Structure 1
């Protein structure tokens, strides 16, 4: 079970429909496939989706840090030495997406070695999650049409609505149109990606107070310390820490400092090892958790499902698991299927998914 090599392979797959939000937009999935090889011939896989406008990582940067720092630091370690592996990765500051992909590929390799699903290794609470779909910026009618299509075709009944535009009534009008168009039995929550000030966010939330929102997420800048605390006091729904809570220490500060009352866990950002720590913190502090999405492809989405299904707390709310539907293609041999509003873990060892070599050859951006 010794690690013998780590590959970081760049690939790019266009989106059929770009996703626009307050802090940026995504038109092409310029991601990195990470493969961890062992001396037993096992290969664990994971996906790194860089988000330069959120964490400062780029596709080239993910590859460089893995090749130059992470691979030399952990080649020769055992798949069971996950704490040692994380300690060595953490000698390098930042790079959460690169670290997380390596971590998850190690877990996948361990599951394949032991012939056990990652979900069972983590906790084994369930084998599926309810799905939430993210809606990016658009006109109200177009966003209602998209939500109705996702509901009717896939059975999804929870929607996360991107907000944070100026003027803010562009977004409050969208949320109202979604509530009126979809009815009261659909769950809605909003994500500002830090686009509003605290005062504008409070005004917007007041105007949407009759719409039965589940959550509000990152409505104003993460470094607006006093403003965020004040805003949380104005909100009558849980306030989710997302971009402001990259590490377990960040989560602790946000919750205990009164700047948030719920947490988004993104395996693309905290892998499986640190996502466990965030989960345990949330459970101990008594705050709700939503499994978030970093506009992942299908491999990244399966990592989210594998983790979210493993614990009771993370299955209580729908996870953001459907935005791979907007990609024009993907790398898996068997595409993921959302059925009756749920996405199930794959049977089999590790993550239960495989990379199609032909598709990888088509979309990879290096010499191969």
Structure 2
């Protein structure tokens, strides 16, 4: 399982509509396909989604740090030397999605080499995940229409609603319309992407107190230390930390500092190895977790679902696994399907990722025509 090469391929696939939220908007999945090659001819695959407005990464920076910083220290190591690989990655600060894609591709090599699905290597708890769908900034009528379509076509009954706009009554109106039109048969929670102050957040939560929201995620800025603690002490529902917990140490800081009650785990930023560390810390403290979404394509969704299904704690609640449905196309030879609100977990060896070569040729950005 010795690593011989790490390949980075930039690709871009448009979304059918922009996903808008408080910290930015995404119109195109301009991601990096990461491939770890082993001496046995096995190739592990993962996806790195740049989010410059969240982590400061771009397509160019991910390819550069992998090619010039990480690869020289990793090539020649065995994929089983995971702690040594992480020691190399962790000598460099930041770059969470670049590090995570390498980590997950390494796990894919191990799974393929051992002829075992990665989800079983991780824990193997269940063979399916219940799905939550993210609703971006829009007006009440359009939000209801999209949610009804996801419910009627795919059976999805859990929705995360992007909030954080000013004036706050716009977001309140969207949430109220969803509850009024969809009834009590759906679960709703909100995500502010750091768009409100602590006082605005509390005002909004009080105004929506009758809507039976499940969670509220990252309503105010990650560095608003006292404001976040003040809000957590007063919030009528659990607060989920997301962008503020990009590393296991930050999870500890947010929880012990009293700024959050639950944690969003995203394999796109903590891979499989650090996601395990985050999960086990949360389990030890009795803290709930949610499987989040980095607006992943189908490759990233396969990774998130493989991890989420591996453990009882991560599969307890619906995972954010459906936003690839808003893409005009994808790279997988066998596309993912969501039925009855569930995403089946692939039981092929490794991650079960097979890239369609024609689609990769069509969407890759590093070739000259």
Q: Aligned partners of 1:328, 1:184: CA distance in 2, in Å?
A: 32
1:189 is paired with a residue whose SS is strand
Residue deviations 1:246-295 (CA, integer Å, cap 9, x gap): 00000000001000000000000000000000000110010100000000
Other-structure match for 1:66: 66
Give unpaired runs (5+ residues) of structure 2.
none
CA apart distance, 1:347: 2.0
Other-structure match for 1:364: 364
Other-structure match for 2:196: 196
Q: Aligned partners of 2:358, 2:80: CA distance in 1, in Å?
A: 32
> Structure 2 matches for 1:308-327, cutoff 5 A?
308-327=308-327
- 1:86 maps to 2:86: yes
2:56 is paired with a residue whose SS is coil
Other-structure match for 1:128: 128
Q: Aligned partners of 1:250, 1:280: CA distance in 2, in Å?
A: 14
Q: Aligned partners of 1:204, 1:316: CA distance in 2, in Å?
A: 27
Q: Aligned partners of 1:258, 1:81: CA distance in 2, in Å?
A: 36
CA apart distance, 1:235: 1.0
Other-structure match for 2:353: 353
Q: Aligned partners of 1:347, 1:284: CA distance in 2, in Å?
A: 29
Other-structure match for 2:240: 240
Other-structure match for 1:297: 297
Residue deviations 1:292-345 (CA, integer Å, cap 9, x gap): 000000000000000000000001110000000000000000000001101111
Other-structure match for 2:328: 328
CA apart distance, 1:17: 1.1
CA apart distance, 1:238: 1.0
Q: Aligned partners of 2:195, 2:181: CA distance in 1, in Å?
A: 25
> Structure 2 matches for 1:244-323, cutoff 5 A?
244-323=244-323
2:41 is paired with a residue whose SS is coil
Other-structure match for 1:181: 181
Other-structure match for 2:40: 40
Residue deviations 1:166-223 (CA, integer Å, cap 9, x gap): 0000000100000001001200000000000000000000000000000000000111
Q: Aligned partners of 2:195, 2:89: CA distance in 1, in Å?
A: 32
Give unpaired runs (5+ residues) of structure 1.
none
2:30 is paired with a residue whose SS is strand
Other-structure match for 2:222: 222
- 1:53 maps to 2:53: yes
TM-score, normalised on structure 2? 0.99
Q: Aligned partners of 1:113, 1:204: CA distance in 2, in Å?
A: 51
Q: Aligned partners of 1:256, 1:125: CA distance in 2, in Å?
A: 29
Q: Aligned partners of 1:222, 1:320: CA distance in 2, in Å?
A: 21
Other-structure match for 2:147: 147
2:35 is paired with a residue whose SS is strand
Other-structure match for 1:18: 18
Q: Aligned partners of 2:29, 2:56: CA distance in 1, in Å?
A: 16
Q: Aligned partners of 1:12, 1:171: CA distance in 2, in Å?
A: 30
Q: Aligned partners of 1:367, 1:91: CA distance in 2, in Å?
A: 32
Residue deviations 1:2-46 (CA, integer Å, cap 9, x gap): 000000100000001110000000000000000000000000000
Other-structure match for 1:8: 8
Q: Aligned partners of 2:216, 2:234: CA distance in 1, in Å?
A: 11
With 148-157 and 231-240 compared, the bigger mean Cα shift is at: 231-240
With 295-304 and 342-351 compared, the bigger mean Cα shift is at: 342-351
Q: Aligned partners of 1:2, 1:98: CA distance in 2, in Å?
A: 20
Aligned alpha-carbon RMSD (Å): 0.6
2:259 is paired with a residue whose SS is coil
Q: Aligned partners of 1:51, 1:324: CA distance in 2, in Å?
A: 16
Q: Aligned partners of 1:93, 1:288: CA distance in 2, in Å?
A: 28
Q: Aligned partners of 2:207, 2:301: CA distance in 1, in Å?
A: 34
CA apart distance, 1:367: 2.3
